[in-house]
């Protein structure tokens, strides 16, 4: 069956229709007819070749929700079936043989298949293929497809940062940035039971932060000093170079600063900011399949939903520019 995709031929270029015939379905592979796909900042970076790794023509899109159209011969029929509503996120497969995969940390597999990079045909298309059925996520009935899509990248990125770093319901935590990642992190942490502070350079987001569950709001420009020594865990969701010494100072002893947004430049901080108080600076990555399932279940159970703006796929150029300019409130989602 011919796939109708929406590709860019050059960095930053306009979207154009691209039709292709997929290869025969492999034994572990799953084809999903896409109904909704989130538009992530990472998609914009790939379209614009911000990291110098894009190859054109490029079909972006890695937050896909749809219906299974075909399954390979080795797919476990107890888990997945044709006609089932599922999601395919940032990773579409892994080797399931290395030490990382065998210990349940498939997200660290050196041979994992990133949905956009593998063959450069992502989910801005009528169909997306997962290279391994174990990375195809059943969607809980209570989650609408337009809400489920952003959870498959933004949601799992912040959720796995919370679970892997041992955040406790009794912890005092802060989320830096109230955007596509941050507004979900606030919701997860509030439902986790934490005392949540939102930190943003945009004072106008104070009301939204509280609506998402934050107990306090701090304006980054003038408020960091008053929260010095306050937090057990800080999650930075922004793609910006921050005053890292100030954020490390905001941690309590043995606190953790976890970075899931990608700063523009190298980290710069005084060694004593880290060493005194035995603090930790860690990175975060999208989760393994089991973590994805836990995240979707937790979101469904606790009513966690991204705030979304929907666009018909014919307006993909507009949706990309909307995200590029930071205007999305708070995630853009394509409808097919």
End-to-end CA distance of the chain: 17
Contact 227, 251 (CB under 8 A): no
Task: Indicate the SS3 state at residue 181.
Answer: coil
Task: Please tell me the predicted confidence (pLDDT) of residue 148.
Answer: 98
Residues 6+ apart with CB under 8 A from 31: 22, 25, 68, 69, 70, 71, 127, 128, 129
pLDDT, mean of residues 176-180: 98
pLDDT, mean of residues 216-228: 92
Tell me whether strands 85-88 and 136-138 are parallel, antiparallel or unpaired.
antiparallel
Contact 94, 157 (CB under 8 A): no
pLDDT reading at 120 higher than 80: no
Q: What is the per-residue pLDDT across 293-308, written as a single tens digit (0 to 9) for each?
A: 999 999 999 999 999 9
- Overall pTM surpassing 0.95 (yes/no): yes
pLDDT, mean of residues 261-271: 94
Q: What is the per-residue pLDDT across 183-214, written as a single tens digit (0 to 9) for each?
A: 999 999 999 999 999 999 999 999 999 999 99
Tell me whether strands 195-200 and 172-176 are parallel, antiparallel or unpaired.
parallel
Task: Please tell me the predicted confidence (pLDDT) of residue 222.
Answer: 81
Residues 6+ apart with CB under 8 A from 241: 263, 264, 265
pLDDT reading at 118 higher than 60: no
Residues 6+ apart with CB under 8 A from 313: 6, 124, 334, 335, 336
Mean confidence (pLDDT) of the chain: 96
CA angle 120, 299, 173 (to 5 degrees): 100
57: preceding bond cis by omega (within 30 degrees): yes
Task: Please tell me the predicted confidence (pLDDT) of residue 329.
Answer: 96
Report DSSP letters for 234-283, one per residue.
EEE--SS---HHHHHHTEEEEEEEEE-S--SS-----HHHHHTTT-EEEE
Structure tokens that stand for 60 in this block: 């972006």
Task: Please tell me the predicted confidence (pLDDT) of residue 51.
Answer: 87
Contact 173, 196 (CB under 8 A): yes
Q: How crowded is the C-beta side of 264, counted as CA atoms within 13 Å?
A: 4
Q: What is the per-residue pLDDT across 4-37, written as a single tens digit (0 to 9) for each?
A: 999 999 999 999 999 999 999 999 999 999 999 9
SS3 content of the chain, % helix, strand, coil (to 5): 30, 30, 40
Helical spans, DSSP H, in 86-171: 99-102, 145-150, 156-164
Q: What's the CA gap between 199 and 177, in Å, rounded?
A: 6
Q: What's the CA gap between 31 and 38, in Å, rounded?
A: 18
The percent of residues above 90 in pLDDT, for the chain, comes to: 96
303: DSSP letter: T
Task: Please tell me the predicted confidence (pLDDT) of residue 48.
Answer: 96
pLDDT, mean of residues 145-153: 98
pLDDT, mean of residues 264-268: 92
- Structure confidence at residue 1 as a pLDDT band (50, 70, 90): confident
Residues 6+ apart with CB under 8 A from 191: 213, 298, 302, 304
Task: Please tell me the predicted confidence (pLDDT) of residue 92.
Answer: 94
**Cα dihedral 68/334/211/42 (nearest 10):** 90
Task: Please tell me the predicted confidence (pLDDT) of residue 117.
Answer: 73
pLDDT, mean of residues 155-161: 98
């Amino acid at each position: 069956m011919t796939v109708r995709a929406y590709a860019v031929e050059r960095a930053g270029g306009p979207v154009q229709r691209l039709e292709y015939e997929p290869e025969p379905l492999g034994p572990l592979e799953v084809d999903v007819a896409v109904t909704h796909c989130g538009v992530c900042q990472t998609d914009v970076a790939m379209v614009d070749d911000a990291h110098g790794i894009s190859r054109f023509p490029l079909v972006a899109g890695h937050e896909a929700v749809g219906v299974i159209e075909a399954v390979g011969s080795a797919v476990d029929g107890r888990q997945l079936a044709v006609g089932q509503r599922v999601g395919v996120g940032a990773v579409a497969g892994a080797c399931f043989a290395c030490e990382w995969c065998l210990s349940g940390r498939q997200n660290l597999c050196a041979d994992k298949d990133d949905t956009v990079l593998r063959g450069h045909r992502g989910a801005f298309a009528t169909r997306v293929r997962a290279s391994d059925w174990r990375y195809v996520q059943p969607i809980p009935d209570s989650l609408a497809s337009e809400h489920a899509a952003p959870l498959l990248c933004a949601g799992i990125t912040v959720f796995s940062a919370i679970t892997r770093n041992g955040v406790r319901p009794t912890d005092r935590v802060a989320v830096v940035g109230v955007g596509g990642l941050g507004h979900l992190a606030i919701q997860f942490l509030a439902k986790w039971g934490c005392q949540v502070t939102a930190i943003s350079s945009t004072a106008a987001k104070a009301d939204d932060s509280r609506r998402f569950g934050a107990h306090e709001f701090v304006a980054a420009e003038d408020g960091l000093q008053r929260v010095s020594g306050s937090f057990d865990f800080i999650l930075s969701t922004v793609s910006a170079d921050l005053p890292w010494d100030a954020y490390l100072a905001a941690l309590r002893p043995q606190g953790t600063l976890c970075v899931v947004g990608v700063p523009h430049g190298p980290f710069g901080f005084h060694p004593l900011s880290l060493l005194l108080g035995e603090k930790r600076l860690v990175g975060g990555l999208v989760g393994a399949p089991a973590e994805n399932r836990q995240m979707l279940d937790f979101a469904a159970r606790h009513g966690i939903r991204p705030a979304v703006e929907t666009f018909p796929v014919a307006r993909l150029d507009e949706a990309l520019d909307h995200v590029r300019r930071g205007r999305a409130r708070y995630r853009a989602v394509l409808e097919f």
